[in-house]
């Protein structure tokens, strides 16, 4: 059989309606139609070509990014694209650009932290891109510790202005995307100083560059921080460095929804909690969870299609060799990642709902769900990005040697994705925030305040710390109630154990620092419980289409039992399950791999990714991998000449040295 036929044969084996699954994956028929149309639009537009990206110099890559962003903006206007369509277009263009920070952070910061008046002044200009903004929080010396920022904004009552200043080297703003070469404005986070008194970190809108000739305004030093990991990848972004030398801005450019400074220099706080200054980060963390499912599904699509095409060993009587996807080891590494892609998709949808809910409440001055929204966005951002970064690298290894070629798409995907574990909050720092929230929840048990939302299970802590898992046979692990209780028991027991250990310390902060590694593990257990429970909830919905729900049930079970197997130590050491039950879970997992096997190609087809978006020879839809790999090799610049540049200077003299030696 020709390699090109392998995937067609695989598609015939699918045990469900792939067209219906595409709609489940997209979230709705409407979202599917937009995604399908916009992805084709991007794929057919020569300006959005990206197959040569990793070969470009930094300067050429950056210019190419500017060209793509300008063209995207032109198409958005010409075609009168809606916000959803514009975001979809950005997703399929697949090249990080300054526009991400303008739309994704600068505008949300003004919306979330600006007063009505400030929004009316700044947003129309930002929406029309008459100004371009970035989010300038992190400094050379401080990123995680936002309270440690050093940039100052001193109020000058004489002129009714703030003076923005970088007092030290470490106070230089460092990292903001879009800052280096493009942004005309920034939301700058700085310590508010009035009459010598420090009121902590606040946001200020500061113009950085002239709107006439783009030169930096007086007192501003700005540039790019330099090359980052990998070729292509995140180097399309101008992450920047910025210093202020006593730059003056009008008083009304401090974002004043949370707190205000009056003309007389009086500091006033609204009823709104201070933490809303961190609101933009909550918003972006939520979007990063959905992005994780996209990046993961892309890597999984490549590795799955290639694993069905690739054959090694096992030929009988001259017949074809075994498809590597049929090796149980390949399945046990790949299929949980496929299941995780679906799991992250559904938890991302739920998180979007949670964020919309908390936003609505905040508008009505109900701040009660803010701590949970913070814990969920922080924790899920952390767990999904860490898993996705690891998974992309695993997918590269699943593709053997060819996975290491740039044309597999996996090296660049890895390089562009991994900073997600760091930006918008280092993943460990964020898990410690979740742990604080959990310890607070445990400490309030029995106080009459019942835990709600994602910590509602803690309300059954007495049962969960004593219950015995009822599994006796492998198939018992297919019951959602059994899975859920095992995950709840593990999470509750880990949190309670941490709380007990903490209570032994006379200084709680010292205790928290000493136990932080255990606390992070308890936070991970809690977040994994959320993901599993949201997958199970999704399956309670009406899901049309032949076999679609059944496939999703299989994937949900694979995801849960894979986690259980991976973290068996937690489940057994907390007594949530017995070693025998752990072995039965593994037995069930093996059966599930066999069950899902016929449908895996259709399950990745359901992502509906174009070859342009995948950007991978190994993952192309037709599976014609070998011909394409062979053809691609000849396009490399090194192959432009048969004899390489440098031959006469560096190769020939070595080759000819024996002649010289012989003459000696």
Ligand X SMILES: Cc1cc2nc3c(=O)[nH]c(=O)nc-3n(C[C@H](O)[C@H](O)[C@H](O)COP(=O)(O)OP(=O)(O)OC[C@H]3O[C@@H](n4cnc5c(N)ncnc54)[C@H](O)[C@@H]3O)c2cc1C
Binding-site residues for FAD, in ranges, read 138, 177
By CB under 6 A, tell whether 281 contacts ligand LUWPKQH6: yes
Cα 290 to Cα 256, 300, 344, 519: the distances in Å are 30, 15, 7, 25
Tell me, what DSSP letter sits at residue 216?
B
Of 83 and 264, which has the nearer Cβ to ligand LUWPKQH6?
83
- Phi, psi for residue 174 in degrees, rounded to 5: -150, 120
Helices (H), 597-650: 600-605, 611-614, 625-633
Cβ 533 vs Cβ 563: under 8 Å: no
282 binds, among ligand LUWPKQH6, ligand X, none (CB under 5 to 8 A by kind): ligand LUWPKQH6
From CA 533, how far away is CA 541, in angstroms rounded? 13
CB of 298 to ligand LUWPKQH6, least distance (A): 17
Nearer to ligand X, 178 or 451 (CB): 178
What single DSSP character describes residue 393?
Answer: H
Instruction: Please identify the residue of the shown chain whose CB is closest to the bound ligand LUWPKQH6.
Output: 104
Minimum CB–partner distance for residue 479 and ligand X (Å): 38
Q: What is the DSSP string of 296-354?
A: HHHHHHHHHHHHHH-B-S---TT-PPPBGGGSHHHHHHHHHHHHHHHHHHHHHHHHHHH
Joined together, the tokens standing for residue 646 give 């440098």
Is residue 415 within the footprint of ligand LUWPKQH6 (CB under 6 A)? no
Rounded to a whole number of angstroms, the minimum distance from the CB of residue 70 to ligand LUWPKQH6 is: 8
- Judged by beta carbon, residue 513 or residue 651, the one nearer ligand X is 513
Residues of this chain, 345-374, that bind ligand LUWPKQH6 according to CB under 6 A: 370-371, 374
Minimal distance, residue 559 CB to ligand X, in Å: 26
Q: Classify 390 in phi/psi space as left (phi over 0), alpha (psi -120 to 50) or beta.
A: alpha
- Separate counts of helices (H) and strands (E) for the chain: 25, 11
The helix/strand/coil state of 620 is coil
CA–CA separation, 489 and 591 (whole Å): 25
Residues annotated within the binding site are: 138, 177
309 binds ligand LUWPKQH6 (CB under 6 A): no
Among residues 393, 424, 488, 553, the one annotated as catalytic is 424
Chain centroid to CA 411: 17
> Considering the complex, what minimum distance in angstroms separates the CB of residue 175 from ligand X?
4
CB of 118 to ligand LUWPKQH6, least distance (A): 20
Q: Which of 7, 14, 72, 126 binds ligand LUWPKQH6 (CB under 6 A)?
A: 72
Give residue for tokens 């500091």.
Answer: 267
Complex with ligand LUWPKQH6: residue 177 or 480, whichever CB lies closer:
177
Nearer to ligand X, 416 or 458 (CB): 416
Compute the distance between CA of residue 426 and CA of residue 314 in angstroms, rounded to an integer.
45
Residues 128 and 303: beta-carbon distance below 8 Å: no
Stretch that binds ligand LUWPKQH6, among 36-44, 429-437, 533-541, 600-608 (CB under 6 A): 429-437
User: How near is the Cβ of 459 to ligand LUWPKQH6 at its closest, in Å?
Assistant: 20
Q: Which of residues 128-157 bind ligand LUWPKQH6 (CB under 6 A)?
A: 135, 137-138, 143-147
87 touches, from ligand LUWPKQH6, ligand X, none (C-beta below 5 to 8 Å by class): ligand LUWPKQH6
φ/ψ (deg, to 5) at 605: -60, -30
Interface pick for ligand LUWPKQH6 out of 34, 86, 247, 458 (rule CB under 6 A): 86
Asked if residue 135 lies in contact with residue 280, where contact means CB atoms within 8 angstroms, the answer is yes
Q: Taking a C-beta distance cutoff of 8 angstroms, is the pair 424, 284 a contact?
A: yes
Angstrom distances, CA of residue 514 to CA of 11, 444, 501: 53, 22, 10
In this chain, which residue has its C-beta nearest to ligand X?
143
> Count of residues binding ligand LUWPKQH6 (CB under 6 A)?
37
Residue 428 binds: one of ligand X, ligand LUWPKQH6, none (C-beta under 5 to 8 A by kind): ligand X
Closest to ligand LUWPKQH6 by CB, 331 vs 433, is 433
Cα gap 306→398, rounded to integer Å = 9
CB-nearer residue toward ligand LUWPKQH6: 279 or 403:
279
Q: Is 424 a catalytic residue?
A: yes
Residue among 21, 153, 192, 284 that touches ligand LUWPKQH6 (CB under 6 A): 284
Using the minimum distance from each CB to ligand X, give the nearer residue, 96 or 336.
96
Determine, following the binding rule CB under 6 A, whether residue 75 of this chain makes contact with ligand LUWPKQH6.
no
Q: Which is nearer to ligand LUWPKQH6, 282 or 606 (CB)?
A: 282
Q: Whole-number minimum distance, CB 383 to ligand X, in Å?
A: 15
**Which of ligand LUWPKQH6, ligand X, none interacts with 234 (beta carbon under 5 to 8 A by kind)?**
ligand X
Q: In this structure, are residues 21 and 548 in contact, taking their beta carbons and an 8 Å threshold?
A: yes
What is the footprint of ligand LUWPKQH6 within residues 88-107 (CB under 6 A)? 90, 99-101, 103-105
Q: How far is residue 340's CA from residue 384's CA, in Å, rounded to a whole number?
A: 9
Q: Tell me the window of 32-40, 66-74, 345-353, 481-489 that interacts with ligand LUWPKQH6 (CB under 6 A).
A: 66-74
Q: How far is the CB of 185 from ligand X (least distance, A)?
A: 14
Query: DSSP for 28-92?
Result: SHHHHHHHHHHHHHHHT-GGG--TTGGGS-HHHHHHHHHHHHHHHHHHHHHTT--HHHHHHHHHH
Q: In whole angstroms, how close is the CB of 150 to ligand X at the nearest point?
A: 13
Does the protein bind ligand LUWPKQH6 through residue 191 (CB under 6 A)? no
- Name residues whose C-beta falls within 8 Å of residue 230's C-beta, 6 or more positions apart in sequence: 411, 412, 414, 415, 416
Q: Are 221 and 246 in contact (CB under 8 A)?
A: no
Nearer to ligand X, 336 or 425 (CB): 425
Sign for the CA dihedral angle at 262, 265, 271, 277 comes to positive
**Quick check: 379 binds ligand LUWPKQH6 (CB under 6 A)?**
no
User: CA-CA distance, 377 to 356, in Å (whole number)?
Assistant: 12
Q: Which residues bind ligand X (CB under 6 A)?
A: 101, 135-138, 143-144, 175-177, 234, 239, 419, 422-423, 425-426, 428-429, 432
Where in the sequence numbering do the catalytic residues fall?
424
Chain positions contacting ligand LUWPKQH6, by CB under 6 A: 69, 72-73, 76, 86-87, 90, 99-101, 103-105, 135, 137-138, 143-147, 177, 275, 278, 281-282, 284, 287, 370-371, 374, 423-425, 429, 433, 436
């Amino acid at each position: 059989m020709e390699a090109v036929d392998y995937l067609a044969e695989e598609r015939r084996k699918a045990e469900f309606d792939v067209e219906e699954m595409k709609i489940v994956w997209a979230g709705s028929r409407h979202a599917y139609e937009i995604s399908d149309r916009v992805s084709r639009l991007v794929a057919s537009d020569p300006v959005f070509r990206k197959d040569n990206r990793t070969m470009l110099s930094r300067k050429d890559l950056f210019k190419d990014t500017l060209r793509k962003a300008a063209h995207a903006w032109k198409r958005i206007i010409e075609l009168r694209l809606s916000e959803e369509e514009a975001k979809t277009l950005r997703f399929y263009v697949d090249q990080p650009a300054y526009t991400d920070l303008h739309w994704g952070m600068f505008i949300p910061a003004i919306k979330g932290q600006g007063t009505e008046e400030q929004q009316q002044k700044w947003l129309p200009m930002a929406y029309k891109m008459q100004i371009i903004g970035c989010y300038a929080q992190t400094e050379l010396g401080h990123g995680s510790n936002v309270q440690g920022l050093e940039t100052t904004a001193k109020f000058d009552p004489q002129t009714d202005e703030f003076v923005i200043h970088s007092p030290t080297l470490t106070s230089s703003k460092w990292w903001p995307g879009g800052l280096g070469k493009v942004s005309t404005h920034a939301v700058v986070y700085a310590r508010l100083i009035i009459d010598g008194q420090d009121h902590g970190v606040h946001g200020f809108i500061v113009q950085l560059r002239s709107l006439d000739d783009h030169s930096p305004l007086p007192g501003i030093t700005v540039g790019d921080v330099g090359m980052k990991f990998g070729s292509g990848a995140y180097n399309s972004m101008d992450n920047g460095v910025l210093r202020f030398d006593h730059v003056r801005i009008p008083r009304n450019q401090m974002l004043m929804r949370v707190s205000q400074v009056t003309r007389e220099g009086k500091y006033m706080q609204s009823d709104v909690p201070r933490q809303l200054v961190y609101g933009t980060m909550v918003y972006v963390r939520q979007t990063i969870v959905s992005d994780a499912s996209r990046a993961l599904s892309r890597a999984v699509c490549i590795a799955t299609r290639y694993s069905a095409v690739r054959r090694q060993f096992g030929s009988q009587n001259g017949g074809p060799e075994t498809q590597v996807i049929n090796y149980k080891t390949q399945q046990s590494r790949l299929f949980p990642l496929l299941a995780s892609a679906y799991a992250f998709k559904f938890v991302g949808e739920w998180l979007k709902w949670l964020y919309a809910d908390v936003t609505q409440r905040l508008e009505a001055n109900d701040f009660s769900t803010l701590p949970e929204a913070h814990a969920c966005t922080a924790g899920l951002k952390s767990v999904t990005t860490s898993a996705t970064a690891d998974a992309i690298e695993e997918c590269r290894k699943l593709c053997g040697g060819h996975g290491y070629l740039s044309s597999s798409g996996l090296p660049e995907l890895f390089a562009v994705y991994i900073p997600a574990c760091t930006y918008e909050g280092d993943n460990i720092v964020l898990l410690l925030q979740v742990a604080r929230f959990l310890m607070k929840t445990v400490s309030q048990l029995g106080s009459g305040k019942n835990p709600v939302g994602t910590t509602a299970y803690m309300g059954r802590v007495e049962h969960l710390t004593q219950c015995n898992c009822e599994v006796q046979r492998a198939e018992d692990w297919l019951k959602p109630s059994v899975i859920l209780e095992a995950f709840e028991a593990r999470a509750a027991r880990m949190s309670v154990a941490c709380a007990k250990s903490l209570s032994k310390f006379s200084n709680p902060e010292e205790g928290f620092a000493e136990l932080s590694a255990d606390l992070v593990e308890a936070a991970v257990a809690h977040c994994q419980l959320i993901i599993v429970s949201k997958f199970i909830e999704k399956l309670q919905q009406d899901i049309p289409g032949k076999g679609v729900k059944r496939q999703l049930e299989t994937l949900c079970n694979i995801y849960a039992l894979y986690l259980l197997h991976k973290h068996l130590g937690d489940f057994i050491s907390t007594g949530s399950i017995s070693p025998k039950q752990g072995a039965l879970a593994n037995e069930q997992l093996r059966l599930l791999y066999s069950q899902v096997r016929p449908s895996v190609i259709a399950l990745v087809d359901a992502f509906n990714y174009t070859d342009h978006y995948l950007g991978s020879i190994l993952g192309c839809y037709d599976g014609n991998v070998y011909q394409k790999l062979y053809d691609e090799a000849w396009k490399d610049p090194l192959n432009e000449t048969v004899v390489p540049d440098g031959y006469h200077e560096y190769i020939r003299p070595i080759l000819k040295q024996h002649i010289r030696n012989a003459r000696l």
